[in-house]
Chain A
Amino acid sequence: MKYPDNLLYSKSHEWLQELEDGSVLIGITAYAAEQMGGVVYVDLPEADDEAELGESFAEAESVKAVSEIISPVSGVISVVNQDLEDQPNLLNDSPYDAWIVRVSDVSEREELMDAAAYEAFVAE
């Protein structure tokens, strides 16, 4: 399945997974990865950085362009997926395993779509 049912989706093509402790994982969707083409570098934030709703927290560079990755929540970045430093192509190869950050202490969250709504959104 291109857009897993257990995730929520933003209009700027990030996915969000809710974890049991109230924190969330954030990554980019298969659609975003496909639009970008092969990602060759990810400019990652650092742990303890703040994530702000609607603001960029990381950048993914492909040959074609640089794309900002927008946080759908406000909170504190508690863990950064360091694997992406050496293997940025994980964003293309397995976008739903390749979470970028884990955000804790989530204080606000934008309205997100479920898989069916997101699939309809990208089909427009």
Chain B
Amino acid sequence: MVLHTPLYDRHVQLGGKMVAYAGYELPVEYPAGLVAEHLAVRQQAGLFDVSHMGEFTLRGAGALAWLNNTFTNAFDSLKPGRVRYTLLCNENGGCLDDLIVYCVSRDHYVLVVNAANRAKDYAWLCEHLTEDVTLDDVSDHIALLALQGPQSAAALAQISEGELPTRNYSFAEDVRVCGKSCWVARTGYTGEYGFEIFLKPADAELVWDSLLAVVNESGEQFVSACGLGARDTLRLEAGMPLYGHEMTDAVNPLEAGLEFAVKLDKEFIGRDAIRDSVPVQRKRVGLRVLDKGIVREDAELYVGDTLVGRTTSGTFAPHLEAAIAMGLVNTESSAIGTVLEAQVRKRRLRAEVVELPFYKANK
């Protein structure tokens, strides 16, 4: 069965090229094209339908303790109105998913998980519930829009009432957009200043249309509809990992370079295995391709004749105008400045290990 988000009709009307993704039919790009959409987010503002993402509500007196015991990050310091990134690991320390936790109050949280993992996560989390918490999959009752780019605040302010959150990884529950009650969060997956807007499915078309119709002082529209293609190149340019690529259940979060979200000084599922993996034998690296050509996902990486790893994502980055990739490589070949060779069909392309992120916004 193919699922549709509440904005399916809009995507078709806008000429979106529809593809299957995580069980949904979603636009990979609109007629403007992936590159134009990518640049719109870097320069102005782009609007994404991310209603396919999964949302779970967690409630109960034991909610905080359960979060700490279940996920890699620590949540004691997470205040109401704030947001935290975390991993969910299995007993072996492999990543089951990465997700975002929104704190409404100390006994009420919202978890946003990857669409492709929604059913797996929900089943797994339910197996690990304690008696003092309840978890509900509310994904079908929430539409989610991502408005990203330096002019996203200007666009959203025009059609909203109430104070927009400004601090990164915070959210407001009391914003009205087009008169409709929404949550507005300062989160995103593009490396750009921006918002994610949680709303009722019935309000999605109104808010979508209104954001695309916003004009500047010269009367020009400045919010572009963007598809999954630009979402992927933007996150890659910003050095952000994608589940199923940079991390899987065979990769632990330290190997994926996500130590900032792993607190080994508390108990959680997979903690012992992750602790025992230190020092890790392989690491996620950023790569900039030195030769002409593009290195894509799953290319073998060599030092001389020795296979030292594989790429996990790769593209031509439209804003940087350079071929970039991320990969998992043996730790001894992961130092910044190391030049690896990527096997691309019959050719070997040199690729240098560089700092992540590839791109950082002035936000």
Min CB distance, B317 to chain A, in Å? 8
Task: Give the Cβ gap from B238 to chain A, nearest Cβ, in Å.
Answer: 16
Contact with A along B34-64 (1 / 0, CB 8 A): 1100100000000000000000000000000
Q: Would you call A43 an interface residue if the criterion is a C-beta within 8 Å of the partner chain's C-beta atoms?
A: yes
What 0/1 pattern do residues 319 to 352 of B give for CB contact below 8 A with A? 0000100000000000000000000010100000
Q: Is A63 a contact partner of B296 (Cβ separation < 8 A)? A: no
Chief secondary structure at chain A's binding surface: strand
Residues of chain A in range 8-59 having any CB-CB distance to chain B below 8 Å: 37-38, 40-41, 43, 59
Which A residues are in CB contact (< 8 Å) with B293?
41, 43, 61
Contact partner of A61 among B29, B33, B35, B316, CB < 8 A? B316
- Tell whether A116 is near chain B: CB-to-CB under 8 Å: no
- Which residues on B sit within 8 Å (CB–CB) of A38? 33, 35
User: What separation, in Å, do the CA atoms of A62 and B233 have in the docked complex?
Assistant: 12
Number of A-B contacts (CB under 8 A): 34
Q: Which residues of A contact B318 (CB under 8 A)?
A: 63
The answer on a CB contact under 8 Å between A63 and B35 is yes
- State whether the Cβ of A117 lies closer than 8 Å to any Cβ in chain B: no
Residue of B34, B233, B316 with most chain A CB atoms under a 10 A cut-off: B316
- Give the contacts of B257-304 with A (CB-CB under 8 A): 292-294, 296
A2: Cβ under 8 A from any B Cβ: no
B229 close to A (CB within 8 Å): yes
Q: What's the minimum C-beta distance from B292 to chain A, rounded to whole angstroms?
A: 6
Q: Is B151 an interface residue (CB 8 A)?
A: no
Q: Is the CB of A63 within 8 A of B316?
A: yes
Rounded to whole angstroms, the CA-CA distance of A64 and B314 in the bound complex is: 10
Q: Please tell me if B148 contacts chain A, counting CB pairs below 8 Å.
A: no
Are B34 and A63 in contact (CB-based, < 8 A)?
yes
Given B29, B229, B316, B345, which contacts A40 in the complex, CB threshold below 8 Å?
A: B316
A63–B233 touching, CB < 8 Å: yes
Q: Which one of B229, B292, B323 lies within 8 Å of A64 (CB-CB)?
A: B229
B90 CB within 8 Å of chain A: no
Question: Secondary structure at chain B's binding surface: helix, strand, loop or mixed?
Answer: mixed
Closest to A38 in B: B35
B contact residues, range: 10 to 19
Complex Cα distance A64/B347, Å? 20
Chain A residues within an 8 Å CB radius of B316: 40-41, 61-63
The complex places the Cα of A37 from the Cα of B233 at a distance, in Å, of 14
With both beta carbons as reference points, the residue of chain A lying nearest to B345 in the complex is identified as A59
The interface residues of chain A lying within 8 Å CB-to-CB of B29 are 37
CB distance from B23 to the nearest CB of A (A): 22
Contact with A along B216-255 (1 / 0, CB 8 A): 0000000000000100010000000000000000000000
Q: Is the CB of B35 within 8 A of A41?
A: no
Question: Which residues does chain B contribute within 8 Å of A40, judged by CB atoms?
Answer: 294, 316, 323
- Judge whether B34 and A41 touch: CB under 8 Å: no
* Alpha-carbon gap, A43 to B316, bound state (A): 15
Query: Which residue on chain A has the smallest CB distance to residue B289?
Result: A41
> Is B70 part of the binding interface, using a Cβ–Cβ cutoff of 8 Å?
no
Task: For A62, list chain B residues within 8 Å (CB).
Answer: 316
B73 within 8 A of A: no
Contact bitstring B112-138, A, C-beta under 8 A = 1, else 0: 000000000000000000000000000
In the assembled complex, 27 residue pairs joining A and B whose CB atoms fall closer than 8 Å, in A order, are A37-B29, A37-B33, A37-B34, A37-B35, A38-B33, A38-B35, A40-B294, A40-B316, A40-B323, A41-B292, A41-B293, A41-B316, A41-B323, A43-B293, A61-B294, A63-B34, A63-B35, A63-B38, A63-B229, A63-B233, A63-B315, A63-B318, A64-B34, A64-B229, A66-B294, A66-B296, A85-B292
Which residues from chain A sit less than 8 Å from chain B, CB to CB?
A: 37-38, 40-41, 43, 59, 61-64, 66, 85
Closest 6 pairs (CB-CB, A-B):
A40-B316, A61-B294, A63-B316, A38-B35, A37-B33, A41-B293
